[in-house]
Structure 1
Amino acid sequence: MKNDAIMVTGATGVLGREVLDRARRTGLPVRALTRRSVLPDDPGVAWFTGDLATGAGLDEAFAGVRTVIHCATDIRHFKNDIPAFEHLLEAAARAGVEHIVNISIIGVDRIPYPYYRIKREGERLLAASGIGWTNLRASQFPELLNTAFRFLSRLPVVVVPSGTRCQPVDQGEVADRLVELALGDPATGAPPAEGWGRVPDLAGPTVYPADRLARDWLRAAGKRRPVLPVFIPGRIGAAFRSGALTAPDRPAGRRTWEAYLAEKVAR
Structure 2
Amino acid sequence: MSTILVTGGTGALGRHLTERLRTDGHEVRVLSRHSRPYAVDLRRGGSTLDEAVTGVDTVVHCASTPRGGDEQAAENLLAAARRAGVGHLVYISIVGVDRVPFGYYRTKFAVERLVEESGIGWTVLRTTQFHDLLLTVFEGLGRLPVLLLPSRVKDQPIEVTEVADRLAELAGGGPAGRVEDMGGPEVRTLDSLARSYLRATGRRRAVVRVPLRGAAYRAFRAGSHLAPERAVGKGTFEEFLAARAGRGRVGE
* Structure 2 unpaired stretches of 5+: none
- TM-score (normalizing by structure 2): 0.94
Inter-partner Cα distance in structure 1 for 2:85 and 2:220: 40
Letter in 2 for 1:73: S
- The answer on whether the counterparts of 1:7 and 1:69 sit within 8 Å (CA) in structure 2 is yes
Which range is displaced more, 229-238 or 173-182? 229-238
1:62 aligns with 2:53: yes
1:72 aligns with 2:70: no
- The answer on whether the counterparts of 1:165 and 1:245 sit within 8 Å (CA) in structure 2 is no
2:191 aligned residue = 211
Letter in 2 for 1:201: D
- TM-score (normalizing by structure 1): 0.89
C-alpha distance after superposition, 1:155-178 (max 9, x if no partner)? 111111111111110000000000
Could you say what secondary structure the match of 2:83 adopts? helix
1:93-242 aligned at under 5 Å gives the runs 93-187=82-176, 197-242=177-222
Inter-partner Cα distance in structure 2 for 1:235 and 1:70: 29
Could you say what secondary structure the match of 1:134 adopts? strand
1:49 aligns with 2:39: yes
Which one of the candidate residues 236, 240, 247 is aligned to 1:256? 236
- The answer on whether the counterparts of 1:168 and 1:203 sit within 8 Å (CA) in structure 2 is yes
Inter-partner Cα distance in structure 2 for 1:91 and 1:71: 16
Inter-partner Cα distance in structure 1 for 2:53 and 2:101: 33
- The answer on whether the counterparts of 1:4 and 1:64 sit within 8 Å (CA) in structure 2 is no
1:245 aligns with 2:225: yes
1:16 aligned residue = 14
C-alpha deviation, 1:237, in angstroms? 1.3
C-alpha deviation, 1:34, in angstroms? 2.2
Letter in 1 for 2:190: A
C-alpha deviation, 1:261, in angstroms? 1.3
What stretches of structure 1 move > 6 A for 4+ residues in a row? none
What fraction of aligned residue pairs are identical, expressed as a percent?
51
Inter-partner Cα distance in structure 1 for 2:10 and 2:175: 25
C-alpha distance after superposition, 1:124-143 (max 9, x if no partner)? 10111010000000001111
Could you say what secondary structure the match of 1:136 adopts? strand
Inter-partner Cα distance in structure 2 for 1:243 and 1:51: 34
C-alpha deviation, 1:230, in angstroms? 1.2
Letter in 2 for 1:7: L
1:25 aligned residue = 23
